[in-house]
Amino acid sequence: MSRIAVVGSINQDIVIRVPRIPRPGETVHHGRLARYAGGKGANQAVAAARAGATVSMLGAVGTDADGDDLLRGLIAEGVDTTHVARVDSAATGTALIAVDDAGANSIAVAEGANFQIDPEDVQSAIAALQPVAVVGQREVPDDVINAAFQATTPGLRVLNVSPVDEGVAINLGLVDIAIVNEIEAAQLTADSSPDDDSAALARVLAEQTHRGCVVTLGGQGLVAQVDGQTHVQPAFPTTVVDTTGAGDAFCGVFTAALAAGRQVETALRWGQAAGALAAAKAGAQPSMPMADDIRRLAESELA
C-alpha cells in the first residue's frame, strides 16, 4: 500500500442539527447535539486510510481529554499518530457546526493546538517517512504546509486550499495538484481570471502549480485541468444528510488513488464517489466511506 502523510488539523466537532442555520442575532431552537472527530486534516487521513492507503498524521492536539479521544480514534482507523505532537500551550482544536435540515452547514473553528505545529518537526517527519504523497490544507499555519511540501522530494504534493482568506501564503509553485471548490477558485483568481467559468478558473490555477487543479462543484460534479488535460465529470446522485467532511472524503480518496498508481480520471471518480457517500451520513470522520463502497459506486459509473 502507498504511504501518505497528511499534514493538517485535528478537531473535536460539536454539531447541532437545527431546522435552519441561524442568521446573525437569531436563536434557533429544537436542535440535536452530537460530538464527532473532525478537522480537515484528520478527516482526510481517515478517508485515505479507509480507501486502503497507509497513512501517517502530522499535526498537534492538546494534553486534554479531547486530544486523548481524537488520537485513540485515529489509531483505531489504522492511522499512524507517531508524529502528532501533544502541546500544553493550547487546547485541542474545536469546531462548532450548525447543520440544517437540507444538510448544509455553518462552521466556527477555534484552531487551538493546530496553530502550535512546529514546521521543523514536520520537515523532520517527512524526511523520516519518505511518503509517496503529502496532503495539506489551510486549517494549520501556511508555513507548516510550505515546510512539508519543501521536504517532499520526490513525492506527490496535494493541497486542499481551504479555507481561503486574504492572507493565503502557500507557494502554489510547491504544489503538484490544488483542490478547491468553485467559491475558493474565484477568490484565488480574482486578480488573474477574466471570468468565473469553472474551467477557466481551473486553467488559471493549474498554471500556478506543477500538474494542475481540481475545482469541485458540489452537486454539479467537478472540472479539472491536470497534466494538460481537461476533465469534466458529473456528480453522483446522493441523498444529502450532512455535507460536513464530504470535501475531505474527496481529497483523501483522490490522493490515495493517485498514490496507488490510478489514472487521474479514475482517481477523480473515486474521490467523487467518496464525497457522495460521505454526504449521505452524519458527522465528519464517521461518514468517511470504506474502500469496497467507494469502488462499487465508482466502478458502476465507469463501466
Within 10 angstroms of residue 294's Cβ, the number of other Cβ atoms is: 29
Q: What is the pLDDT of residue 303?
A: 40
pLDDT of residue 193: 55
64 burial level (CB within 10 Å; 0-12, 13-18, 19+): middle
CA-CA distances (angstroms) from residue 57 to 16, 134, 190, 199, 249? 27, 10, 33, 32, 15
- The whole-angstrom distance between residue 214's C-alpha and the CA centroid of its chain comes to 13
Phi/psi class of residue 93: alpha, beta or left (left: φ > 0; alpha: ψ in -120 to 50)?
beta
Q: Which amino acid is at 34?
A: A
101, 196, 248, 293: the catalytic one is: 248
* Coil, helix or strand at residue 16: strand
For the whole model, what pTM was predicted?
0.93
pLDDT, tens digit only, all 303 positions of the chain? 469 999 999 999 999 999 999 999 999 999 999 999 999 999 999 999 999 999 999 999 999 999 999 999 999 999 999 999 999 999 999 999 999 988 888 989 999 999 999 999 999 999 999 999 999 999 999 999 999 999 998 899 999 998 888 778 899 999 999 999 998 998 888 765 555 689 999 999 999 999 999 999 988 999 999 999 999 999 999 998 888 899 999 999 999 999 999 999 999 999 999 999 999 998 889 999 999 999 999 988 544
The DSSP code for 80 is: B
For this structure, is 80 an active site residue?
no
| Residues sharing a CB contact under 8 Å with residue 56, sequence separation 6 or more, in sequence order | 3, 4, 5, 6, 79, 80, 82, 83, 125, 129, 131
d(CA 293, CA 42): 20
Burial of 31 (0-12, 13-18, 19+ CB in 10 A): middle
The distance in angstroms from the start CA to the end CA of the chain is 25
190, 167 contact by CB (below 8 A): no
